[in-house]
Amino acid sequence: MIVHLILIGTSTVAALMLLLWLIHLSLKNAAIVDAGWAGGLAILAVLYAVLGHGEPARAWLIAVMVSVWGVRLAFFLLFTRVLGHPEEGRYQELRRQWKTNIPLKFLAFFEFQALLCVVLSAPFLFASINPAPALSPLEYAGAALWAMAILGEIVADGQLAGFKANPANRGKSCNIGLWNYSRHPNYFFESLIWFAYATFALASPWGWLGLLSPALILYFLLKVTGIPATEAQALRSKGEAYRRYQETTSMFVPWFPKKQVN
């Protein structure tokens, strides 16, 4: 059963990423992969709920949680970073670094995101095959943490989008609302969402394997494609203004800003 679900899920998201790669060739904007990553995870959660033989209430609860998160994030990224927008600086930097065979390298990059989706979907998979008839306290706790975290992510994304929409803020660092307490509040709440999924899955057999998902998310956010790439691009585009922001504002966990020493 598990192998069957994994094979179906892998082929589905691999096909999705192939389609998005083909689209990106005409758009000339690789950021569409980010929207596909979020949407692919939502698709996997629904597939597991449909094809798994666990308790439907549990499978569909986590499928709805993932779908709300994934569809919202996919459309947010699509309309704020892809359609009608130039390619993000971090993807432009990849093009500069790769130099040759760029389309094929992006194909590998897109398909790696498909593989990552399958690995990260472990909490949804184990919850979807759990036959226990009643939800446990861990599942209620995971759902409650998810509700708080997704609200925080929506607020952070909205504040950043509003800041960028104001022409007077061009070249400035967003330091309003949640961004006054963290340089990356969206990433912070994103990590909490994944801890919520893992908490939910802990109530299912083998669900502890779902802890790999928030661990991977934290690794990518803190060490690879999240904060390092975002901050490098911010330093290239904003320079000293962003350095001052770094000196006063917590990188990840929201905290009170430091007073700048003149």
From first to last of its 262 residues, the chain has per-residue pLDDT tens of 789 999 999 999 999 999 999 999 999 999 999 999 999 999 999 999 999 989 999 999 999 999 999 999 999 999 988 998 899 888 888 899 998 999 999 999 999 999 999 999 999 999 999 999 999 999 999 999 999 999 999 999 999 999 988 999 888 889 999 999 999 999 999 999 999 999 999 999 999 999 999 999 999 999 988 899 889 888 988 888 899 999 999 999 999 998 764 4
Give the per-residue pLDDT at 89. Answer: 80
Structure pTM?
A: 0.91
Give residue limits of the domains in the chain. Answer: 1-134, 135-262
Helices H / strands E in the chain, number of each: 11, 0
Give the per-residue pLDDT at 88. Answer: 85
> Residues with Cβ < 8 Å from 123, sequence gap 6 or more?
62, 197, 198, 200, 201, 207, 210, 213
> Residues with Cβ < 8 Å from 240, sequence gap 6 or more?
none
Give the per-residue pLDDT at 60. Answer: 97
Q: Cβ(47)–Cβ(8) under 8 Å?
A: yes
Separation of alpha carbons 113 and 248, rounded Å: 34
- The rounded Cα 157 to chain-centroid distance in angstroms is 12
Secondary structure of residue 26 in the 3-state scheme:
helix
| pLDDT tens per residue across span 137-182 | 999 999 999 999 999 999 999 999 999 889 998 888 899 999 999 9
Q: Cβ(77)–Cβ(41) under 8 Å?
A: no
Neighbours of 100 (CB within 10 A): 6
Separation of alpha carbons 16 and 24, rounded Å: 12
Separation of alpha carbons 180 and 125, rounded Å: 37
Own/partner contacts of 151-158, CB < 8 Å, gap of 24 or more, are: 152/178, 152/185, 152/188, 152/189, 152/192, 153/69, 153/73, 153/186, 153/189, 153/190, 153/193, 154/72, 156/185, 156/186, 156/189, 157/76, 157/186
Token pair, residue 40, equals: 């692919």
Q: Cβ(143)–Cβ(69) under 8 Å?
A: no
Q: Cβ(101)–Cβ(21) under 8 Å?
A: no
Q: Cβ(246)–Cβ(182) under 8 Å?
A: no
Give the per-residue pLDDT at 23. Answer: 95
Q: What share of the chain is helix, strand, coil (3-state, %, to 5)?
A: 75, 0, 25
- What DSSP assignment string belongs to 8-24? HHHHHHHHHHHHHHHHH
Residue 204 region, left (φ>0) first, then alpha (ψ -120 to 50), else beta?
A: beta
